Amino acid sequence: MSTPRRVVLITGAARRIGAVIARRLHADGYDLALHYRGSAADLRSLVGELEAARAGSTLTLQADLAVFDRLPELVAKTVGHYGRLDALVNNASAFYPTPAGRATPVQWEELFGVNARAPFFLAQAAAPHLRAAGGAIVNIADIYADKPRADLAVYAASKAALLAVSRGLAVSLAPEVRVNAVSPGAILWPDGGIDDDVQAGLLAQTPLGRIGDPGDIAGTVAWLLGDAASYVTGQVIRVDGGRGIG
């Protein structure tokens, strides 16, 4: 039996920006299918918080997005549990330095597999359900897709591919399904930290002169999924403090 609430599948939902997106959409009334790969403890904590607010509103799904067969399975389990799917947020990402001259084919395959291939094939699997719901997709890209950093050559290329995927899906799935992308700037520093000079340089390139907040991304995602953006598709929304200017 289908839930009366809208349902969203969020990849990489256990922590960082993904968890903030999950909290925001849950507060907006969505039921959630929350994908994670290895951050089980973080996801348990998040689910406990959300279930305390509204029982029966979450489904947890573990998968390595680099394994192709797991992609349609995530969609099938979501629809099997809730009876519907209204939105897909492709947030999960692989990220590490890949400077030209030292990058390997294995790194290329991993970064493109998670950052571009998985979002495309998740969208393909979700498309029939999203069409039935008049739903939407938001892909989380990166400012580096347009303004690459020297040590992130392959990562930047994979996120640029995700922008192309987003535009292609917007054309392919129209008019029933809207597809957009969000490109964050300096929102959260990497888990392993960041060189002080690099951090200062990034902020110096940011007209607003400060780091952003994960809630900035979550709010943009919520807007793109909602009725207020019903005539918006194929767009890339930069949430970067102005860093993409010029």
User: Which domains does the chain show, CATH number per domain?
Assistant: 7-239 (3.40.50.720)
Confidence band for 143, pLDDT divided at 50, 70 and 90: very high
* Residues 65, 222: Cα–Cα separation, whole Å: 23
Closest CA to 48 of 29, 28, 22, 30: 22
Which residues neighbour 38 within 8 Å (Cβ) at sequence distance 6 or greater? none
144 is catalytic: no
Whole-number percent of the chain with pLDDT over 90: 85
Confidence band for 30, pLDDT divided at 50, 70 and 90: very high
pLDDT for the residue 1: 63
* Residues 17, 56: Cα–Cα separation, whole Å: 23
pTM comes to 0.95
Confidence band for 192, pLDDT divided at 50, 70 and 90: low
Percent helix, percent strand, percent coil in the chain, to nearest 5: 50, 15, 35
Which residues neighbour 220 within 8 Å (Cβ) at sequence distance 6 or greater? 182, 237, 239
Task: State phi, psi for 34 to the nearest 5 degrees.
Answer: -110, 110
Mean pLDDT, range 98-123, rounded to an integer: 96
**What tens digit of pLDDT does each residue of 147-170 get?**
888 899 999 999 999 999 999 999
Confidence band for 246, pLDDT divided at 50, 70 and 90: low
Catalytic residue among 30, 82, 155, 231: 155
Residue with tokens 């909602």: 226
pLDDT at 123 over 80: yes
pLDDT for the residue 8: 98
CB atoms within 10 A of CB 171: 10
Whole-number percent of the chain with pLDDT over 70: 98
